[in-house]
Amino acid sequence: QVQLVESGGGLVQAGDSLRLSCAASGLTLRRNVMAWFRQAPGKEREFVAAIDRSGGNIYHADSVKGRFSISRDVAKNTVYLQMNSLKPEDTAVYYCAADSNSRGLVSTYRVEYDYWGQGTQVTVSS
């Protein structure tokens, strides 16, 4: 049984940093593309960042490039999202996702991801 459990969200001020964690069980990071998505109230869930099965290729949405960074610890089977210089528009529920059928390709489309966590709330005040 696959489980993705996010943690690390919270209420912070603009300019602060947070690190989100996604602890995975029932799957191996080396065999899955892992990603972070976010969903703000009244908006569609959007791609934030992804890391491929090798861990050697990472992708970030333009809106977070230079501020957010995805990484992973294979030994801990955990994926991270380091978020710096947070802005009020980063306020959203952040979801961890796994694509077990990627065949090595990284997708930014949520429909390609077959496992999801429950989400963690990030609120950035101005």
Q: pLDDT tens, 66-125?
A: 999 999 999 999 999 999 999 999 999 999 999 998 777 899 999 999 999 999 999 999
Predicted local distance difference test score (pLDDT) of residue 117: 98
Predicted local distance difference test score (pLDDT) of residue 68: 98
Predicted local distance difference test score (pLDDT) of residue 95: 98
Predicted local distance difference test score (pLDDT) of residue 14: 98
For the stretch 8-34, pLDDT in tens is: 999 999 999 999 999 999 999 999 999
Rounded distance, CA 92 to CA 84, Å?
15
Predicted local distance difference test score (pLDDT) of residue 103: 77
Rounded distance, CA 102 to CA 65, Å?
23
The one-character DSSP state at 75 is T
**∠14-18-24 over CA atoms, to 5°?**
145
Count Cβ atoms within 10 A of the Cβ of residue 44 and give its class: 0-12 exposed, 13-18 middle, 19 or more buried.
exposed
Predicted local distance difference test score (pLDDT) of residue 90: 98
For the stretch 28-53, pLDDT in tens is: 999 999 999 999 999 999 999 999 99
